[in-house]
Amino acid sequence: MLRKLTAALASAGLLFGLAACGGSADDDDTLTIGATSVPHAEILTYVKDHLAAKAGLKIEVKEFSEYEQLNPALASKQLDANYFQHKPYLEESNQKTGEHLVFVAGVHLEPLGVYSKKVGSLQELRRGATVSLPSDPTNEGRALRLLADNGLITLKPGAGQTATEKDVAGNPKAIRFRPTDAASLPRQLGDVDASVINGNYALEAGLNPAKDALVSEKAAGNPYVNGIVTRPEDKDDPKIKKLVALLTGPEVRTFIQDKYQGSVLPS
């Protein structure tokens, strides 16, 4: 009987120990951040490997291949923050979903660029050429603005950040636009005359935005800086503030400049 009681107590102690270990995970102070791979996850990994420990911060980086999944993952608390988007995209996403995710701080700009395997300049595009561009509202408008800024088309007065083909006022070369999922644009580059490609997807495809783009966005006054986004209740979390301080500090600025050579610009 005594042996049975001792075994029962030992078993209870083991269960208590397991429960205690399980409970400690709830108190985990690791910051889980979702990001697309290039350059966002690369920048975060640099912070994780070289800066975070000294700042008293633990980081887990979760990579996503489809950026449309990142805001839902953050809203459902699978992540503490994400890093892939600019303010106009976030505003459009919040309006569509009814969420209230907040943009905490800008980190870098990936200049949107026009690429082609068939011509060496926009002026060489033939009449009726096909130009693909991102299909999500903010980046489609951004792409059209880039084409307008470089004289290929004109936009109606007042056309905003979510401009569409309907806002094209002048199209002297009768360009045909092909809105396409942003991640697919590099793979389909050979099927069109030119394509307006997001900087991160250009980098992933082995394109060098600083050298290969026919034209690209300017950094000055650009509203499309990518940054850290979190839920409203977490925007003042000390861990988020530490992360932002590292991402906007001189070490990360130097890392971005050295690694990307103008293809990604620190904000």
Third-level CATH fold of 31-111+223-266: D-Maltodextrin-Binding Protein; domain 2 (3.40.190)
Q: Which phi-psi region, left, alpha or beta, contains residue 211 (left: φ > 0; alpha: ψ -120 to 50)?
A: alpha
Q: Side-chain half-sphere of 7: how many Cα atoms within 13 Å?
A: 4
Tens digit of pLDDT for each residue in 149-201?
Answer: 999 999 999 998 889 999 999 999 999 999 999 999 999 999 999 999 998 89
- Whether 31-111+223-266 and 113-216 share one fold: the answer is yes
Q: Which fold has domain 113-216?
A: D-Maltodextrin-Binding Protein; domain 2 (3.40.190)
Per-residue tens of pLDDT for the chain, all 267 residues:
434 434 443 444 433 333 333 333 334 689 999 999 999 999 999 999 999 999 999 999 999 998 999 999 999 999 999 999 999 999 999 999 999 999 999 999 999 999 999 999 999 999 999 999 999 888 999 999 999 999 999 999 999 888 999 999 999 999 999 999 999 999 999 999 999 999 889 988 999 998 999 999 987 788 899 999 999 999 999 999 999 999 999 999 999 999 998 889 998
Does the bond joining 39 to the residue before it have cis omega, within 30 degrees of 0?
yes
Whether 95 contacts 141, CB under 8 Å: no
H or E stretch including 81?
strand 81-86
Per-domain boundaries in the chain: 31-111+223-266, 113-216
